Amino acid sequence: MEEFIKELEAERIQELEAYLIATNLNDYHLTDEEHTLLDYKPKFKSFKLASTYIMRGKLIEVDKKGVFDIVPTKKKINANSITFDGQFPYVARGESKNGIRGYINFDEQYLNPKDTISFGQDTATMYYQPNAYFTGDKIQVFKLNEAYGTLTENIALYIISSMKKSFANFVWGQQSFALDVISEIPVELPVDIHGNIDFEYMSQYIQAIKKVSIEDVVRYKDKIITATQNIVNE
């Protein structure tokens, strides 16, 4: 049993190492540029949460510089009517596992687009979804305003953090279902010298924060790998 546990641990550590390499986090040492970035104090500007949203099938324009185009989920799939043994993420309003309740197979025309944020209207749960996904009830899909390009994980994480601050004093209840209220909420974001949203700063800042956060994990991983190699060589 002890050998089995060691083998299992080694296998998980190898999976972790592969993940860290794939996400460029295996090297947690900050560069000089990243140190400078973390010390830098950017200017901030308020932007409305939405550029557009859809209400009863009608497109409502809010602000051309708004952060997201808010669209309804393509289909509200009842969790009680499906089996969780499929291929695609089923996103609900839970507060863990990126909101993913499980994986299902369903008509793929109802998949919501990847690189979007799933938003639970009555819970204010919000998660970046890197893959196409299905959803349950009371989920809105936040697509980055096309004027700003494509949403990436780092940019999404930064914006979500800012959104949570904006929603901190929001009273959730009946009004939470009103898209006209949500769409107008101001979100504070860093801007460049021209007053435009500084997406490059957000992306680089989050990457640096990831490195700082992952340092202890990498050290632990390296320690376990060394110990495993020593056991193998004995």
pLDDT for 232? 47
202 pLDDT more than 90: yes
pTM comes to 0.83
User: What share of the chain in percent tops pLDDT 70?
Assistant: 83
- Render the burial of 38-61: b for 16+ CB within 10 Å, e for the rest: eeeeeeebebbbbbbbeeeeeeee
For 183, other C-beta atoms within 10 Å of its C-beta total: 21
CA distance 91 to 100: 4
Angle at 228 between CA 224 and CA 231, to 5 degrees: 140
Which DSSP category does 137 fall into? S
Condensed to tens digits (0 to 9), the pLDDT of residues 89-128 reads 999 988 888 999 999 999 999 999 999 999 998 888 999 9
Tokens of 25: 């986090």
Specify the DSSP element, H or E, that contains 69: strand 68-72
Give me the mean pLDDT over the 162-170 stretch. 86
4 pLDDT more than 80: no
CA distance 1 to 7: 10
CA distance 10 to 4: 10
Condensed to tens digits (0 to 9), the pLDDT of residues 5-31 reads 455 556 666 777 777 777 777 777 888
Specify the DSSP element, H or E, that contains 213: helix 199-233
Phi then psi for residue 37, to 5 deg, are -60, -45
Q: Which of 152-161, 169-178, 204-213 has the lowest mean pLDDT?
A: 169-178
